[in-house]
Structure 1
Amino acid sequence: MSSHHTGPLPERRDRGAISYFFWAFAVTAAGLILGGWLGWAGSRTVEGTLTIFFICAVLAVLEISLSFDNAIVNANKLKDMSPVWQRRFLTWGILIAVFGMRIVFPLLIVVVAADIGPVEAIRLAASEPEAYARIMHEAHLSIAAFGGTFLMMVGLGFFFDHEKDIHWVRWLEERIARYASVKGIEIALVLGVVMAISQLHGGDKGHSFLVSAIWGLITFLAVEVLGGILDRNEAMKTGAQGGLGAFLYLEVLDASFSFDGVIGAFALSQNLFVIAIGLGIGAMYVRSMTIMLVEKGTLSQYRYLEHGAFYAITILAVIMFLQSFVEIPEVITGLGGALLIGVALWSSIRWNRAAAG
């Protein structure tokens, strides 16, 4: 890969950390004002206004805490993309992430699960939020199976890599690396886990889980294959690493990350528009973090940061599978991921100090 593909705006590496979050702060202010207005329009009381305002703020914090690992994985993929595709992802990609995944995706779930038209789904979200939330809740098993399978493939793909030579949890990662050259080992492991869980559910639930998980696996493999073909063709035409395949991969990855947040959000509010505001604010911080990580070369400065993110992804996949049996609060998921990344950062700083000394 050519060395000049290190960031969308390499000449701005000296920017202060806060400057990266200008648009995130602007969207936060606009979103919270809009949330307050929605609260006032719906209740005409100060209490109702403050409640919606508070829910928007909590959802934004929830999305940010769930998205540290998403930003790190985005940056990991972006640093190898051409500057043109980096910019496309950070503009179009984030629009798709905010509007597509936080607004269109919950509507699509209801369209498929309830077998109704998109217009009817929007009407249901606006006028019958309880019924809308119930349909979303009933679709939770399938979403957990699909998202969990996709994310588990992403997580295991990082560890089962024969070229990976930096190990954080050495005793575990070195053992995994020994089997990295075995073809299809991640697929076999994931299928084994999926089969076991579907057997535990049994009946219609087990069948539903298995079918959704298989679709998650097929989606992951299809994105990998399509991404490889697209980027290979682009590289042959332009003589440079492309980005369309990686762009698609990142969009599907973001979708899988947002499953958890979107479903969890319904525990706090049944109003689709309130959820979209809260999660949309969070998504802007993911974009800001991603740009900062790429431009400042943070991933190369802190050698275990990626490891922490991929451990968090693998654990999130396990949690999504467990959520098909029991409810696990989003706070645990968010804080768990953030804690892992924090420990990875601390380990990286310690390593840097030892290396410098």
Structure 2
Amino acid sequence: MVLRTFGWSFAVTAVGLVAAFLLWGWEGFAVVAILSILEISLSFDNAVVNAGVLKKMNDFWQRIFLTIGILIAVFGMRLVFPVLIVSITARIDPMEAVDLAIDDPDLYEQLVTDAHPAIAAFGGMFLLMIFLDFIFEERETMWLKWLEKPLSKVGHIDAASVGIALAALLLTASTVATHAYQHGGTYADKADTVLLAGVAGVLTYLVVGGLSGYFENKLEEDEEREHEAEEAAHRAGREPSLVRLGGKAAFFLFLYLEVLDASFSFDGVIGAFAVTNDIFWMALGLGIGAMYVRSLTVYLVRQGTLDEYRYLEHGAHYAIGVLAVILLISIRWHINEVITGLSGVALIGASFWTSVLHNRADRAAEADGAGGSEEKPAVPSGV
């Protein structure tokens, strides 16, 4: 199971590290390895959230996510995206930006750093919307009940998440963004840029998430009918078939996943400049890390990990909320990548351990109930 799921990741790692050594020696090998670890540590919560969406898709769209999706993730976000950012912000031709990345990596890094406020605002607001929609949703399973129960009541207010997100954006634009960090330790007023990029992030979430939700809801009636068929299969002693989305619904979920991955990758791409400004080392290292994120996503789906560990998805969404706040704060202050990575790992680790404890408690309760049923007759339902 592990080899089948992570086989391509292992192969890409081996080829990538060997190529780095042959082309650039031990220095290239070390930098690519460090960047791979950085990407994995920063994107583990991405894999958990991806798995929650991917498990709804059928086998065809899961394969699309692993093939076309990884090409978009590796070449699009880790290689093309930084070039496009430089091209747009510096108002130069994309090919000129590529030449700049190869011939003058220091100037290239400077242009990307100066574009960071717009990148952080877009990605931060997109991720903040994901967190707010999750935390405001009323759900049966709650991890931190003292927090999630009152917040779920806020979700009864129409567009509460949008209102709070826009309020956070206004606060960021009027305070943090007025002294945005620029290359060389200088500061500039980027309030207008941050406001525009942040609104674009919210709109992107509403459009992509709304379309995927619309087509997903259209299939609810079919799923309800299939649920009745599953119950009939259980009664007949047959294994029920799992219904997963295809067609337009799966396409928009796939699109949502790609935008989600893009928002997560902002932090990794920007953080990579703390290690190197070589575009090829960066693309190779972050690409290897992205492969493991994809493989981990599939592993979580195939193992049913999210169903077994009930609070894991909660921990990942809390990590998303923290990452969104860090991105917005990083417009002015640099946040070390170690802090970003460890905060996500700590929240997911805590949710995992809490899930394990609750599973143990459930099994112990079931065992006590089974033992007690031998001494007492079963109490009819409703008594």
Counterparts of 1:133 and 1:307, CA distance in 2: 36
Aligned equivalents of 1:33 and 1:24: distance in 2?
A: 14
The question of 1:251 aligning with 2:227 is answered no
For the pair 1:94 / 2:98, whether they are aligned, the reply is no
Q: Shift of the alpha carbon at 1:227?
A: 2.4
Question: What is the one-letter code of the residue matched to 1:187?
Answer: V
Aligned to 1:241: 245
- 1:26 equivalent in alignment to 2:11: yes
Counterpart check, 1:224 vs 2:209: yes
2:280, 2:267 → 1: CA distance? 17
Q: 1-side partners of 2:211 and 2:93: how far apart? A: 30
5 Å-filtered alignment, 1:29-44, equals: 29-39=14-24
- Cα offset, 1:91, TM superposition: 1.6
After TM superposition, the structure 1 stretch with the greater mean CA deviation from structure 2, 170-179 or 218-227, is 218-227
Q: Deviations along 1:99-144, whole A, 9 cap, x unmatched?
A: 1111111111011011111111111111111111100000001111
> Which residue pairs with 2:27 in the alignment?
51
Partner Cα separation in structure 2 for residue 179 and residue 101 of structure 1:
35
TM-score (norm 1): 0.89
Relative distance call for 1:351 and 1:283 in structure 2 (3 A) is same
Indicate the residue corresponding to 1:267 in structure 2: 274
The residue correspondences of 1:269-288 to structure 2 (distance < 5 A) are 269-288=276-295
Is 1:289 matched with 2:296?
yes
**Deviation at 1:189?**
0.7
Query: Secondary structure at the residue paired with 2:204?
Result: helix
In structure 2, the residue corresponding to 1:348 is in which secondary structure?
A: helix
Task: Tell me the residue number matched to 1:45.
Answer: none
Q: Which amino acid aligns with 1:21?
A: F
1:42 is aligned to: none
Amino acid at match of 2:339: I
Match of 1:306 in 2: 313
**1:233, CA displacement in angstroms?**
7.4
1:154 to 108, 115, 130: 130
Counterpart pick for 1:316 among 320, 323, 327: 323
Q: Could you tell me which amino acid in structure 2 is paired with residue 24 of structure 1?
A: S
1:64 is aligned to 40
Aligned pairs (5 A) from 1:117-132? 117-132=93-108
* Alpha-carbon distance in structure 2 between the residues aligned to 1:172 and 1:237: 35
Shift of the alpha carbon at 1:22? 1.6
Give aligned pairs, total: 332
Change (3 A) 1:126 1:286: same
Which shifted more, 223-232 or 342-351?
223-232
Q: In the TM superposition, what is the alpha-carbon distance from 1:231 to its structure 2 partner?
A: 5.1
Q: Which runs of 5+ in 1 are unaligned?
A: 1-14, 40-48
Alignment of 1:335-354 (within 5 A): 335-354=342-361
Tell me what 1:165 maps to. Answer: 140
Identity of aligned residues (%): 48
Per the alignment, do residues 232 and 311 of structure 1 end up closer, same or farther by CA in structure 2, a change over 3 Å counting?
closer
The CA distance in 2 between the partners of 1:92 and 1:185, in whole Å, is 35
Q: SS state of the match for residue 90, structure 1?
A: helix
Task: Please tell me whether the aligned partners of residues 235 and 241 of structure 1 are also in contact (alpha carbons under 8 angstroms).
Answer: no
Instruction: Answer with 132-141 or 215-224: which moved more.
Output: 215-224
1:90 maps to a residue whose letter is: L
Aligned match of 1:195:
170
- Cα 1:306–1:354 shift into 2, 3 Å: same
Pair member with larger Rg: 2
Helix, strand or coil: the match of 2:345? helix
Mind listing any 5+ residue stretches in structure 2 that lack a counterpart?
179-187, 227-243, 365-383
In the other structure, the counterpart of 1:82 is: 58
Deviation at 1:226, TM superposition (A): 2.9
2-structure distance, mates of 1:327, 1:84: 41
2:153 counterpart residue number: 178
Q: 1:82–1:101: structure 2 CA closer, same or farther, 3 Å change rule?
A: same
Question: What's the CA shift for 1:198?
Answer: 1.0
Q: Which digits, 9 at most, give the CA deviation of each residue in 1:164-205, with x for residues without a partner? A: 111111100111111222110011111111111111134841
1:278 maps to a residue whose letter is G
CA-atom RMSD in angstroms: 1.9
- Whole-angstrom CA distance in 2 between matches of 1:36 and 1:157: 45
Shift of the 333–108 alpha-carbon distance from structure 1 to 2, 3 Å rule, reads same
Greater shift, 246-255 or 198-207, is seen at: 198-207
In the superposition, relative to structure 1, how do residues 95 and 237 fare at CA in structure 2: closer, same or farther (>3 Å)? farther
Equivalence for 1:145: 121
Taking the aligned partners of 2:63 and 2:221, their CA distance within structure 1 comes to 21
Normalised by the size of structure 2, how large is the TM-score? Answer: 0.83
For residues 234 and 89 of structure 1, the distance between their equivalents in structure 2, rounded to whole angstroms, comes to 21
CA distance in 2, matches of 1:173, 1:321: 23
Give, in whole Å, the separation in 2 of the partners of 1:294 and 1:221. 26
State whether residues 231 and 244 of structure 1, in contact with CA within 8 Å, keep that contact through their aligned partners in structure 2.
Answer: no
Query: In the aligned structure 2, how far is the partner of 1:177 from the partner of 1:194?
Result: 22
2:196 match: 211
